[in-house]
Amino acid sequence: MTPLNILLVLSAGLFFAGLFGVAARRTILMQLISLEIMLSGPALGFVAVGAYHGSVEGTGMFLMVLGLAAAEVALGLAIYLHMRRATGGDSDLAHRLRG
Amino acid sequence: MSWGFAIWAATLALAAAVLSVTRASAVHALLLLLASLLALGAAFFAMSANFAGVIQLLIYAGAVVAVFVFVVMTVDASETAMAHERKLLRSAWRWPALFVGLSVIPILFGIGGGAMDAGAPAAADTRELGLLLFGDWGVATELVALMLIAGMIGVRHLGRSLGPRLRERGRE
């Protein structure tokens, strides 16, 4: 196991920790926090590979992931605040969509 | 800097993330998420990706967590709500854990198997990064900007329709 291998394993671990959170939690707010953790796993992978090859593409991809995470958090929290009165923040109760 | 410190910081980030997704209280989960993001920033600095580290601290650990803090203020943190949350988590963790365990094994073997020899982590030049983002990757940068604008318009729309109803409720 070289350092890059270990870092990639850790980034996969971060991703799967977040995936477990999204699947196991029923509170929408906790699922959003888990989504953040899911997105930070690939970010670590991109930066590690970029540093390994000495290229800036890794950091560039990290910035793309960051933009995605920022948009996702803003929209997700707005939708959560909207749905909270109808469902109490429980995603199991939000199985029926209405415009 | 060194790979060793990067691995140590990323391990801390993983530990904080695992703790974060298993907490009953949203405030504890948020603080552990903040710890995880800060540790990731330290890992980026250790890998000489200074620009990524600064952005991680400013945007992720700063702005994103601040937005979460505003929403966490609205969450019911009473003892009965915590007990309900713990009960939900205790009844629902087995199948997701099995699924994650089964899917993580092949990935660990796939990533951990190949031998990659490592020199010291190389520093990424910020000037080069700017040339990449606004030169070769110009379209991708524009797309990210468009996505952020779409998010902003969506949040504005959702927030606006919430206002009058809240005022009505205040009058009742």
Same domain (yes/no): B5, B43? yes
Between CA B118 and CA A83 the distance in angstroms is 49
CATH number at residue B2: 1.20.120.1200
Same domain (yes/no): B103, B133? no
Task: Work out the pLDDT band at B97, boundaries 50, 70, 90.
Answer: confident
Among the partner residues B93, B116, B155, nearest to A78 by beta-carbon distance: B155
CB B42 within 8 A of CB B9: yes
Tally of CB atoms within 10 A around A99: 2
Residues in A touching B15 (Cβ below 8 Å): none
Strand partners, A90: A27
State mean pLDDT over B2-23.
91
Between CA A10 and CA A41 the distance in angstroms is 8
Q: For residue B106, is it within any domain?
A: yes
Domain edge (last residue) among B113, B136, B162: B113
Chain B contacts in chain A segment 62-81 (CB below 8 A)? 62-64, 66-75, 77-81
Same domain (yes/no): B130, B154? yes
CB contact under 8 A, A70 and B114: no
User: What residues contact residue A9 under an 8 Å CB cut-off, 6+ apart?
Assistant: A1, B108, B111, B112
Q: For residue A99, is it within any domain?
A: no
Give me the pLDDT at residue B72, please: 86
DSSP state of A25: -
Same domain (yes/no): B46, B85? yes
Which stretch of DSSP H or E encloses residue A36?
Answer: helix A28-53
Higher pLDDT, A58 or B87: A58
Residues in B touching A36 (Cβ below 8 Å): 33, 37, 64
B62-66, B94-98, B123-127, B152-156: segment of lowest average pLDDT: B123-127
Between CA B3 and CA A98 the distance in angstroms is 50
Give the closest-approach CA distance of B49 to chain A in angstroms. Answer: 7
Same domain (yes/no): B137, B69? no
pLDDT above 70 (res B164): no
User: What residues contact residue B160 under an 8 Å CB cut-off, 6+ apart?
Assistant: none
Residues in A touching B115 (Cβ below 8 Å): 2
CB B8 within 8 A of CB B42: no
Same domain (yes/no): B107, B58? yes
CB contact under 8 A, B21 and A89: no
Among the partner residues A37, A58, A78, nearest to B33 by beta-carbon distance: A37
Q: In the structure encoding, which two tokens stand for residue A94, read together?
A: 């939000």
Question: For the purposes of burial, counting CB atoms within 10 Å of the CB of B160, is it exposed (0-12), middle (13-18) or buried (19 or more)?
Answer: exposed
Domain count, chain B: 2
Task: Work out the pLDDT band at B124, boundaries 50, 70, 90.
Answer: low
Give the angle A80-A82-A86 at the CA atoms, nearest 5°: 95
Chunked in runs of 10, what are the mean pLDDT values of chain A (99 residues)?
84 92 87 93 92 87 92 89 75 67
Between CA A11 and CA B9 the distance in angstroms is 12
Domain count, chain A: 1
Give me the pLDDT at residue B113, please: 59
Same domain (yes/no): B129, B109? no
CB contact under 8 A, B7 and A64: no
Nearest CA in chain B to A92: B88
User: What residues contact residue B109 under an 8 Å CB cut-off, 6+ apart?
Assistant: none
Same domain (yes/no): B95, B150? no
CB contact under 8 A, A25 and B114: no
Q: For residue B169, is it within any domain?
A: yes
Domain edge (last residue) among B113, B134, B161: B113
Q: For residue A98, is it within any domain?
A: no
Same domain (yes/no): B94, B133? no
Same domain (yes/no): B130, B107? no
ipTM: 0.90
Asked if B120 reaches chain A (Cβ–Cβ under 8 Å), the answer is no
What mean pLDDT value characterizes chain B? Answer: 83
Task: Work out the pLDDT band at B80, boundaries 50, 70, 90.
Answer: confident
CATH number at residue A43: 1.10.287.3510
pLDDT above 70 (res B52): yes
Q: Which residue range is the domain that position A21 belongs to?
A: 3-93
Give me the pLDDT at residue B1, please: 60
Percent of all residues in chain B with a pLDDT value above 70, rounded to a whole number: 84
Asked if B9 reaches chain A (Cβ–Cβ under 8 Å), the answer is no
Q: For residue A17, is it within any domain?
A: yes
Higher pLDDT, A29 or B166: A29
Higher pLDDT, B34 or B126: B34
CB contact under 8 A, A40 and B13: yes
Domain edge (last residue) among B88, B113, B138: B113
Give me the pLDDT at residue B116, please: 59
Q: Which residue range is the domain that position B165 belongs to?
A: 125-172
pLDDT above 90 (res B40): yes
Nearest CA in chain B to A78: B155
Cα dist from A49 to A12, A61, B89, whole Å: 13, 11, 35
DSSP state of A1: -
pLDDT above 90 (res B146): yes
Give me the pLDDT at residue B38, please: 94
CB B33 within 8 A of CB A32: no
Cα dist from B6 to A38, A70, B42, whole Å: 19, 24, 7
Token pair 């990533």 in the structure block, residue: B111
